[in-house]
Chains A and B, each alone.
Chain A
């Protein structure tokens, strides 16, 4: 990159199943205050641009960007909303800084999933209204179909998917931010209620509420603000087709394209050797495996066996989702990707507490927008 970009402040409102004590504005405010304190900045004076990430139907408010500026300290300033995943928002901020016209940019995403009473209906609303929606199946069936195809193409055993859940919800026990920590066995996971076979209930990330705010800065500003900036080395994002009829069902091409873009920018040629750990979308357990392969961190068909051998465990050779991932922390809607990035930042800063990885220098975060989409975003960070 022609200009350096770093994360100089992080803040959050802890991830919880319900948050009846706070409005979404108050939740965002809590995360923002923490991030600004962390970065040592005053948003009313120092921030050049604010990026929020939100979807109208997740908020129950049309044109939701209206309600974003005040609680971030962004009133009467440049603000815009990205209708994507949190890492898309991060990309928007990185690009602004790279132009040379912005020195400090704030990124925010949140989830008030507990306020949505009709989740499956909202998700079904994302399907093609003419071809697919009239069939009236639960959108998770798309994940079921994809999982079956992935398992068939790669020969991955069901137990490997279950092991992802055991690992991630287990890791979450060491994470005070996580909403869904649990001590489970492979049998618990495979024996839970079938949702869309072969997908069982415990393989689907449960929702959580929460907010994450990042403060980004250009290299010179970052060095002036902090002695431990976390550098954004590369970022990438990509869409495959939305059409159910013509998408590749077994592989995650969007993850491949997005990560290739990020690796190119970061100058990474051999991701498995150069990257120390990853936070990877696991909103369905099989997705962690499918994504690890598409991200070039192992060969197709290898991720499951790798997981069963314990290589992706906290103590393994390549820890994946040390935070607990979405399975352990909770599915945070549009904020899910920023939760992945937050863990990478905490690990690289050495602030991950009991789940701290030894000597981590380069981490990868990857997010997917969930069914029925095929879009993803990747970011490579280093300390």
Chain B
């Protein structure tokens, strides 16, 4: 069906830090130049630019696409920015895919950038206005509410304990110790550390949560005939899928992310995947909170409903396990500059499939991986399946 096969041919990123001296534009440039350098291209070789960046309120700039454009290499080129909240980083790859698969462009530079630190006194301020302007905002909600409400619904439905879930945070923060861009890598963290951390909005505690971060990631995508000239190790986009559920989130069953399942099914169909648990060798599901990794593994049909915690406890999702999950260290370990964090996941699969992940390389030469992001009011799933 796919008339134009699309490959990822290069990737680069900035270090993820609590507060960068660079402006948003400069961070975008740093990541974009690293990505171009990685595949020995220059901006002249790029036909179009896709920007991924989450709410404008972080940077405090209206029409952020335009502001970021120069830093992303957009001068004189077609530039588009798409947006689905936290799902944006993986959506930007889907957008890069449709730019190339349409046959209009041969090469696309995809840049995801987030500078959360510019929003003072706390970036959470950008999230106050995500709630319904009339029926919810007057209640004084904050972002942690929705995660806490969802986590509680998930734990209660499947009888999971805080300890079951804390294992995810420990795994990812330990994995991140091997990531040169990571902000919160910690080889010695324990479950007790997570369980004893400050309670923010029960059941959410501080170490259940990924940190506020500045950073940028970029990848280069190319049509097949060009990709083969650029590299002898192209990583193919085998499937893409995305899905947005109703905004009436208080009307939904929060214990299961149906929208992630729908997005995954769309991607699996395109990739010809019928048994995801067998045919996918490595996964980077979205983990802004530890329970989300479990939630998403189930939505991606990699584990049965309510069973991802058990798999985690058995070590199946460790880097040397049967299905390595978040070998990068994820958002919990590497950091969470929203859209850039999700693109980091795609870059991780790219590096793992090419055998370039260094100390994080999973054993057994994986052939196919999946990256997934999530966002909005617990509402959107974005999925990319990559293969070699």
* A–B: direct contact at CB < 8 Å: yes
**Which A residues touch B170, using CB under 8 A?**
none
Least Cβ–Cβ distance between B310 and chain A, in angstroms: 28
Q: Are the CB atoms of A243 and B70 closer together than 8 Å?
A: yes
Least Cβ–Cβ distance between A119 and chain B, in angstroms: 11
Residue in A1, A60, A95, A242 whose beta carbon sits within 8 Å of that of B69 in the complex: A242
Alpha-carbon separation in the docked complex, A369 to B79 (Å): 13
Given known A-B contacts A63-B376, A78-B244, A99-B4, A242 and B66 have beta carbons under 8 A apart: yes
Q: Are the CB atoms of B243 and A238 closer together than 8 Å?
A: no
**Which B residues touch A68, using CB under 8 A?**
244, 247
Q: Are the CB atoms of A63 and B104 closer together than 8 Å?
A: no
A69: interface (CB < 8 Å): yes
Q: Are the CB atoms of B247 and A126 closer together than 8 Å?
A: no
**Which A residues touch B258, using CB under 8 A?**
76
B60: interface (CB < 8 Å): yes
Q: Are the CB atoms of B81 and A239 closer together than 8 Å?
A: no
Q: Are the CB atoms of B60 and A238 closer together than 8 Å?
A: no
**Which A residues touch B377, using CB under 8 A?**
66
- Residues 2-24 of B, flagged 1 when their CB comes within 8 A of A and 0 if not, give 11100000000000000000010
Q: Are the CB atoms of B60 and A101 closer together than 8 Å?
A: no
- Residues 241-274 of A, flagged 1 when their CB comes within 8 A of B and 0 if not, give 1110000000001000110010001000000000
Given known A-B contacts A99-B4, A100-B3, A79 and B84 have beta carbons under 8 A apart: yes
Residue in A61, A80, A129, A243 whose beta carbon sits within 8 Å of that of B91 in the complex: A80
**Which B residues touch A69, using CB under 8 A?**
244-247
Given known A-B contacts A61-B130, A62-B55, A83-B63, A238 and B79 have beta carbons under 8 A apart: yes
Given known A-B contacts A56-B57, A88-B80, A125-B62, A66 and B379 have beta carbons under 8 A apart: yes
Least Cβ–Cβ distance between A378 and chain B, in angstroms: 11
Given known A-B contacts A63-B85, A95-B99, A75 and B77 have beta carbons under 8 A apart: no
Given known A-B contacts A63-B85, A83-B64, A95 and B98 have beta carbons under 8 A apart: yes
**Which A residues touch B63, using CB under 8 A?**
55, 57, 83, 126, 369, 373
**Which A residues touch B69, using CB under 8 A?**
239, 241-242, 375
B152: interface (CB < 8 Å): no
Q: Are the CB atoms of B248 and A238 closer together than 8 Å?
A: no
- Residues 44-60 of A, flagged 1 when their CB comes within 8 A of B and 0 if not, give 00000010000111001
A352: interface (CB < 8 Å): no
Closest to A23 in B: B134
Least Cβ–Cβ distance between B249 and chain A, in angstroms: 9
Alpha-carbon separation in the docked complex, A80 to B129 (Å): 19
Alpha-carbon separation in the docked complex, A369 to B98 (Å): 23
Residue in A76, A79, A92 whose beta carbon sits within 8 Å of that of B80 in the complex: A92
Alpha-carbon separation in the docked complex, A62 to B124 (Å): 11
Q: Are the CB atoms of B78 and A128 closer together than 8 Å?
A: no
Closest to A122 in B: B62
Given known A-B contacts A78-B241, A78-B242, A241 and B133 have beta carbons under 8 A apart: no
A123: interface (CB < 8 Å): yes
Alpha-carbon separation in the docked complex, A76 to B59 (Å): 30
CB within 8 Å of A: which B209-265 residues: 241-248, 258-259, 262-263
Alpha-carbon separation in the docked complex, A74 to B84 (Å): 14
Q: How many residues on the A side are at the interface (Cβ–Cβ under 8 A)?
A: 62
User: Is chain B's binding surface mostly helix, strand, loop or mixed?
Assistant: mixed
Q: Are the CB atoms of B85 and A65 closer together than 8 Å?
A: yes
Alpha-carbon separation in the docked complex, A327 to B283 (Å): 52
A98: interface (CB < 8 Å): yes
B314: interface (CB < 8 Å): no
Q: Are the CB atoms of B2 and A239 closer together than 8 Å?
A: no
Closest to A56 in B: B56
A383: interface (CB < 8 Å): no
A37: interface (CB < 8 Å): no
B336: interface (CB < 8 Å): no
Closest to B63 in A: A126
Alpha-carbon separation in the docked complex, A373 to B245 (Å): 33
**Which B residues touch A88, using CB under 8 A?**
80
Least Cβ–Cβ distance between A85 and chain B, in angstroms: 10
A117: interface (CB < 8 Å): no
Closest to A258 in B: B78
Given known A-B contacts A70-B246, A78-B266, A81-B84, A369 and B67 have beta carbons under 8 A apart: no
Closest to A5 in B: B102
Closest to B3 in A: A100
Least Cβ–Cβ distance between B352 and chain A, in angstroms: 26
**Which B residues touch A324, using CB under 8 A?**
none
**Which A residues touch B55, using CB under 8 A?**
56, 62-63
Given known A-B contacts A57-B62, A69-B245, A70-B246, A265 and B104 have beta carbons under 8 A apart: yes
Alpha-carbon separation in the docked complex, A99 to B246 (Å): 27
Q: Are the CB atoms of A55 and B76 closer together than 8 Å?
A: no
B103: interface (CB < 8 Å): yes
Q: Are the CB atoms of A239 and B66 closer together than 8 Å?
A: yes
Closest 6 CB pairs of A and B: A98-B102, A79-B244, A125-B62, A95-B102, A99-B101, A75-B246
Some 6 contacts from A to B, beta carbons below 8 A apart, are A70-B246, A78-B263, A83-B82, A128-B67, A239-B77, A369-B63
Interface of B with A (CB < 8 Å)? 1-4, 23, 54-57, 59-67, 69-70, 74-85, 91, 95, 97-99, 101-104, 118, 126-130, 132-133, 241-248, 258-259, 262-263, 266, 270, 375-377, 379-380
- 8 additional A-B residue pairs with CB within 8 Å, beyond A55-B56, A129-B61: A56-B129, A57-B62, A61-B129, A62-B126, A80-B95, A125-B60, A242-B69, A265-B104
